Amino acid sequence: MEKIALRDIDNNDWDFILDLRNSSFEFFYKQNIPLEKTEHYEYMKRQSINSKFHHWIITLDDNSVGYIRILENDVGIMIKKDYQNMGIASKALQLVEIKAKELGISKLVALVVKDNESSKKIFEQNDYNLKMFWLEKQIS
């Protein structure tokens, strides 16, 4: 059985995280174009001093295959395309709950774009309850 784990991040992982962000942004609410490296690095620098930001690389047998972060209570996950649908995100979510508890976080929230079936499924499978519908209208 291959081993899924979370490891700490250092600055050498920032490009890996950027690649993940830019290969899956169609599922993000706020990002709708690829992110420039400078913008990403500024974001990572800013978050590295944010006490409410926690993140890890997801590994499969020591290979980096994904990324998971908690911002305040909001949990976000990205898995490399070649490794999707193997149960990795679901396992990473279970591992991050252990980390969150150690950090004193008592509740996690997932914001999932409407048509992101895969994301919806991992949170439902891990006992996250639907609490809100988000409706919006472009008016100008």
Ligand X SMILES: CC(C)(COP(=O)(O)OP(=O)(O)OC[C@H]1O[C@@H](n2cnc3c(N)ncnc32)[C@H](O)[C@@H]1OP(=O)(O)O)[C@@H](O)C(=O)NCCC(=O)NCCS
**CA separation for the pair 40, 81 (Å, rounded):** 20
Residue 59 sits in the site that holds ligand X (CB under 6 A): no
* CA atoms of 135 and 56, how far apart (whole Å): 31
Identify which range of 29-37, 41-49, 99-107, 108-116 contacts ligand X by CB under 6 A.
Answer: 108-116
Instruction: Give 27 or 101: the residue with its C-beta nearer to ligand X.
Output: 27
d(CA 27, CA 113): 6
**x/- letters, 13..52, toward ligand X (CB under 6 A):** -----------x--x-------------------------
Q: Which residues of 30-54 are buried (b: 16+ CB within 10 A; e: fewer)?
A: eeeeeeeeeebeeebeeeeeeeeeb
User: How many residues of this chain interact with ligand X, rule: CB under 6 A?
Assistant: 21
Residues that bind ligand X (CB under 6 A): 24, 27, 76-79, 84-90, 110, 112, 116-119, 121-122
